[in-house]
Amino acid sequence: MNQDGLITHAEPVMGTVVSFALRTGQLPSPDLGTALKAACAVLQDADAVFSTWDPGSPLSLLRRGAPPSAPPPVMAEVEAACQQARELSGGWFDPWAVPGGYDPTGLVKGWAVEQALRTLDQAGIPAALVNGGGDLAAFGMPGPGRCWRAGIRHPWRATGLAAVIEVHGAVATSASYERGAHLIDPRTGQPGCRAASATVTGPSLAQADALATGLAVGGDAALDVISGLAGYHAYLIRPDGSESWTPGMEFTSG
């Protein structure tokens, strides 16, 4: 426990580290531990199904053209979410237009984090924020009268922030400064990225994750698409340092 009553936990999974911040309220410690364990199990299960590094995962088998006979039901759930995301993003997020076949990686992490968050909610945790390596979602209030706050990482200063926003639902950011040119432009099938940093906020982390990926690839064109979506907002930093955001995007001061 620390000064502001939050407990944190970091779980290495899915090739990144998922950070948990929980307000425990009146919950006794053992229940807290159980809830955390359950949430982490959700993440590990998702990793086992959707990992593209594990050649034996159901997704890898599917991509190799040898789909498992009894695919886990979550695969269908994710596929449906991907179809919805492709529509919402106007085609800038398209997991079917990448080399090697269907690759929902741009959405899976957000989706898995959302599931983990739901687990915590169902376990009775009053407030929690889960950050899946840069894509985060939260519910509740970290303290009386306070909101969860997140910083958006500065594209060129590793320890600086480009902006600070309040978290209402989900925040997802996509960029190339961590993993290099891994974003594929669905229109060309080649690596392409028009943003130094692309952030999307909204009610669903799975969708926000996908939309952020599409925004990073599509740049201003994708920004226009997202500004037409109810409930979702976007913030784009271009490689030359200029920025744009949708009208409803709100920043807080430091």
Partner 1 sequence: MKAGAWLVVGGAVAGFLGVLGLHRPAAPGALAAGPARAGSASRATPAAGPPGSVTGPAVQYGYGELATRVAISGGRITGVSVPVLSVAEQFSQELADRAIPVLRHEVLAAQSARIQAVSGATYTSEAYAESVQAALDKAHFK
CA distance 146 to 174: 27
CA distance 20 to 206: 17
53 touches partner 1 (CB under 8 A): no
Q: Which amino acid belongs to residue 146?
A: R
For partner 1, the closer of residues 35 and 237 by Cβ is 237
Q: How far is the CB of 71 from partner 1 (least distance, A)?
A: 25
Q: How far is the CB of 46 from partner 1 (least distance, A)?
A: 14
Q: Are strands 149-153 and 233-237 parallel, antiparallel or unpaired?
A: unpaired
Residue 85 tokens read as 């995301």
Tell which positions 137-156 bind partner 1, by CB under 8 A: 138, 142, 148-156
Q: How far is the CB of 12 from partner 1 (least distance, A)?
A: 5
- Fill in the per-residue mask, 91 to 130: x = in contact with partner 1 (CB under 8 A), - = not in contact: ------------------x-------------------x-
237 touches partner 1 (CB under 8 A): yes
Residue 21: alpha-carbon gap to chain centroid: 16
Tell which positions 12-41 bind partner 1, by CB under 8 A: 12, 15-17, 19, 21
Burial class (CB in 10 A: 0-12, 13-18, 19+), 105: middle
Among 34, 164, 231, 248, indicate the residue that binds partner 1 (CB under 8 A). 164
Evaluate the CA torsion angle 53, 55, 57, 62 in order and state its sign.
positive
Tell which positions 167-226 bind partner 1, by CB under 8 A: 167, 171-181, 191, 193, 196-197, 199
For partner 1, the closer of residues 69 and 190 by Cβ is 190
Backbone angles phi, psi at 108, to 5 degrees: -60, -40
CA distance 149 to 240: 27
CB 73 within 8 A of CB 36: no
| Residue ranges in contact with partner 1 by CB under 8 A | 1-2, 4, 6-12, 15-17, 19, 21, 109, 129, 131-136, 138, 142, 148-164, 167, 171-181, 191, 193, 196-197, 199, 237, 239-243, 251, 254
